[in-house]
Chain A
Amino acid sequence: GENVEQHPSTLSVQEGDSAVIKCTYSDSASNYFPWYKQELGKRPQLIIDIRSNVGEKKDQRIAVTLNKTAKHFSLHITETQPEDSAVYFCAASGGLTGGFKTIFGAGTRLFVKA
């Protein structure tokens, strides 16, 4: 079935630095790749997403890139701020193998030090 691997599991950066989180997926038919941010004790919330017909998407300090050939996609956060500290989940969906369900990565705990 579909599998999504996410790295690193923990990431600590200094305020103002960039943070990069990487994911790989196994089902080449996956066509939708959302990223969710979950603050402590809160619900996951969508921060950005990308579809398989696009290679890159940017929204202010957040960008996502997709390499369909390598089945990799990455989240880039620039000029990190303490409020960026949270757990970030990548996900892949729309694939045939996984029965069209959304598969989440294991999450990356991001710490931004002031």
Chain B
Amino acid sequence: DTAVSQTPKYLVTQMGNDKSIKCEQNLGHDTMYWYKQDSKKFLKIMFSYNNKELIINETVPNRFSPKSPDKAHLNLHINSLELGDSAVYFCASSQGQDQPQHFGDGTRLSIL
């Protein structure tokens, strides 16, 4: 029944590794997002896709690459992980840019 599900919930890895986070929504929404929430709880948009098309790409290092195989999925791949990448990453979806967003439970990424 989970509307927006992301995996894994926790990710502990070493600096320099490459990792992926997966996100799926079963709400039939057209728009999906990735947010980064740092230790101060600030929610910062990273990417947004609408019907598999990238529409928002914030100033994010190109080590971060989103991929949307279909409008129900938006995955995030991160290359060469750095200490500053440690954060909680939230996936979200909505029917449009000016509609309520439904968030996943978050992926807590810790870089050793």
**Residues of A near any B CB (own CB < 8 A):** 31-32, 34, 36, 38, 42-46, 49, 51, 87, 89, 93-94, 99-104, 106-107, 109
Let me know if B98 and A32 touch, CB within 8 A.
yes
Interface magnitude class on chain B: 20 to 34
Question: Given the complex of chains A and B, what is the CA–CA distance between A104 and B104 in angstroms?
Answer: 17
In the complex, residue of chain B having the shortest beta-carbon distance to the beta carbon of A46 = B100
A43 (CB) vs chain B CBs: closest residue = B103
Which residue of B40, B55, B98, B103 is within 8 Å of A93 (Cβ)?
B98
Q: Which 9 A-B pairs have the closest CB atoms?
A: A32-B98, A94-B98, A43-B103, A104-B43, A100-B97, A46-B100, A101-B56, A107-B41, A44-B103
A interface secondary structure, majority: strand
Contact, CB under 8 Å: B97 / A94: yes
| Complex: A42 Cα to B88 Cα, angstroms | 11
Q: Give A94 to B97 CA distance when docked, in angstroms.
A: 6
| Of the residues A43, A103, A109, contact of B104 by C-beta under 8 Å | A43
Judged by a CB distance under 8 angstroms, whether B48 is at the interface is yes
- Docked complex Cα distance between A106 and B97 (Å): 20
Which residues of the other chain, B, contact A36 by a CB distance below 8 angstroms? Answer: 101
Compute how far the CA of A102 lies from the CA of B20 in the bound complex, rounded to whole angstroms: 24
Cβ < 8 Å to A, chain B residues 94-112: 97-106
**B15 close to chain A: CB less than 8 A:** no
- On chain B, the residues within 8 Å of A93 by CB distance are 97-98
Q: List 5 A-B contacts (CB under 8 A).
A: A43-B104, A44-B90, A46-B101, A101-B97, A104-B42
Beta-carbon contact of A87 and B41 below 8 Å:
yes
B100:A102 contact, CB within 8 angstroms: no
